[in-house]
């Protein structure tokens, strides 16, 4: 079968030193990209270069090192703006990742806008980080959390979203794509329907931005967040986009240095966004590394990434469906490169352990999405997730590894 056009995978793989290693004497097959992606040398070098050549705090410093570090830090902000086509650099807030972004919005916008009897609307496929902060907010304000159900394929039931979006709905928070199922949600429709009722929308883009082109102006979402480490950047850094008017109206999330305009014992005034939300010394090296990762992915082209991952998803789906004991969990029509599955009579942790001995790195467990597991009646799944460097040969290795898992349990069953 002809492969879809896409990036030069062998050339790309050479950019990632982590892929060169062996596990138990076998070449590493890294299929855990939904948890975190490997890092290209340009990212590793950018972080190293900051510590070796420009190590200094950002902003306010008049010496050369501080100025150079600040320039590189703010260049990463501009790169993030371009990646998602935000209108202004000031709409890009650096955070630790999507988890912090959700908490920030919940505890600033949410605390000031929600009250007793109001409702927050999410879906049944959300990651825990897009569930628990809203539960806490509801406990604090007297609001209620409403949940849009998903069908047997793992797609949100849009008619139920429209039904639940009522006169008391004050906020919608939804994943761009499910980390446990791969389902891509119709964000444009969600935003359009919500905005028709004056309801703002937060999009958890942790599994979206690394795999799809994102244009926040075209989507018209009010907030969008993504994590650096899933986008081939460092851990502990991410981006919260918010429409500038909303960010200006929101109170600070944390307080201290950098986020102030002036301080006296009588009164403190706050800086404008984004600095209002970036208290203290930031993860400077991480932000600079994130900028390098964005530049790297942009050079490859996310449209090319989409073609490659669709080819892998089609190929992998066919391969796993040929194994009788395997049940795919999540078969939505529009998916990112994620294959979650259960093997008859085998606990996912056992499957993951045997695959690991074959050099195959997958994720096992509930994937911080326990309600999804409950919906499909499984305690956990085994999840293989693809990146820009994943090959069909690695999927073949996964299929062979699964057959070995089944053989081991048949032999000892």
Phi then psi for 383, rounded to 5 degrees? -125, 125
- Judged by phi (left if over 0) then psi (alpha if -120 to 50, else beta), residue 410 lies in alpha
Question: What is the DSSP pairing of strand 268-270 with strand 260-263?
Answer: antiparallel
273: left (phi over 0), alpha (psi -120 to 50) or beta: beta
By annotation, the residues acting in catalysis are 368
Are 273 and 211 in contact, with CB atoms under 8 Å apart? Answer: no
Instruction: Note if the bond before 111 is cis, omega within 30 degrees.
Output: no
Pairing of strands 201-204, 223-227: parallel
The strand pair at 338-343 and 29-30 is best described as unpaired
Residues in the chain: 413
CA–CA distances in Å: residue 12 to residues 25, 82, 335: 23, 23, 23
Q: Taking a C-beta distance cutoff of 8 angstroms, is the pair 109, 93 a contact?
A: no
The per-residue b/e assignment along 9-33, b for 16 or more CB within 10 angstroms, e otherwise, is beebeebbeebeeeeeeeebbbbbb
DSSP string for 62-103: -SHHHHHHHHHHHHHHHHHHHHHT-S-GGGEEEESSHHHHHH
Q: 272: buried, middle or exposed (CB in 10 Å: 19+, 13-18, 0-12)?
A: exposed
> Are the beta carbons of 134 and 126 closer than 8 angstroms?
no
Q: Which helix (H) or strand (E) holds 22?
A: strand 22-23
């Amino acid at each position: 079968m002809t492969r879809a056009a896409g990036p030069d995978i062998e050339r790309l793989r050479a950019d990632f030193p982590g892929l060169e290693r062996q596990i138990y004497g076998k070449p590493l097959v890294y299929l855990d990209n939904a948890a975190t992606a490997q890092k290209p040398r340009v990212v590793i070098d950018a972080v190293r270069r900051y510590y070796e050549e420009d190590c200094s705090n950002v902003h306010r410093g008049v010496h050369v090192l501080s100025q150079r570090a600040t320039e590189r830090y703010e260049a990463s902000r501009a790169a993030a703006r371009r990646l998602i086509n935000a209108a202004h650099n000031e709409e890009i807030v650096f955070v630790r990742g999507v988890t912090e972004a959700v908490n920030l919005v919940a505890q600033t916008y949410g605390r000031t806008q929600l009250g007793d009897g109001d409702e927050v609307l999410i879906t049944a496929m959300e990651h825990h980080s897009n569930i628990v902060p809203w539960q806490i907010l509801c406990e604090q304000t007297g609001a209620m959390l409403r949940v849009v159900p998903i069908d047997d394929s793992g797609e949100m039931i849009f008619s139920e979203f429209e039904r639940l979006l009522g006169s008391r709905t004050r906020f919608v928070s939804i994943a761009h794509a499910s980390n446990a199922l791969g389902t891509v949600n119709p964000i444009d429709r969600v935003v359009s329907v919500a905005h028709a009722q004056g309801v703002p929308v937060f999009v958890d883009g942790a599994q979206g931005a690394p795999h799809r082109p994102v244009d926040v102006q075209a989507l018209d979402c009010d907030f969008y967040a993504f994590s650096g480490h899933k986008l081939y950047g460092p851990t502990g850094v991410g981006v919260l986009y918010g429409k500038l008017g909303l960010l200006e109206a929101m109170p600070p999330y944390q307080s201290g240095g950098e986020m102030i305009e002036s301080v006296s014992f009588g009164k403190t005034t706050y800086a404008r966004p984004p600095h209002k939300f970036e208290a203290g010394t930031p993860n400077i090296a991480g932000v600079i590394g994130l900028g390098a990762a964005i530049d790297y992915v942009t050079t490859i082209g996310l449209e090319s990434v989409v073609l490659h991952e669709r080819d892998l998803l089609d190929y992998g789906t066919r391969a796993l469906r040929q194994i009788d004991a395997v049940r795919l969990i999540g078969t939505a029509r529009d998916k990112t490169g994620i294959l979650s599955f259960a093997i008859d009579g085998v606990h996912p942790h056992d499957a993951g352990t045997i695959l690991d001995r074959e050099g195959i790195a997958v994720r096992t467990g509930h994937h911080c999405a326990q309600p999804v597991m409950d919906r499909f009646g499984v305690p956990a799944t085994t999840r293989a997730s693809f990146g820009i460097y994943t090959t069909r040969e690695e999927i073949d290795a996964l299929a062979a590894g699964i057959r070995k898992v089944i053989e081991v349990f048949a032999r000892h069953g």
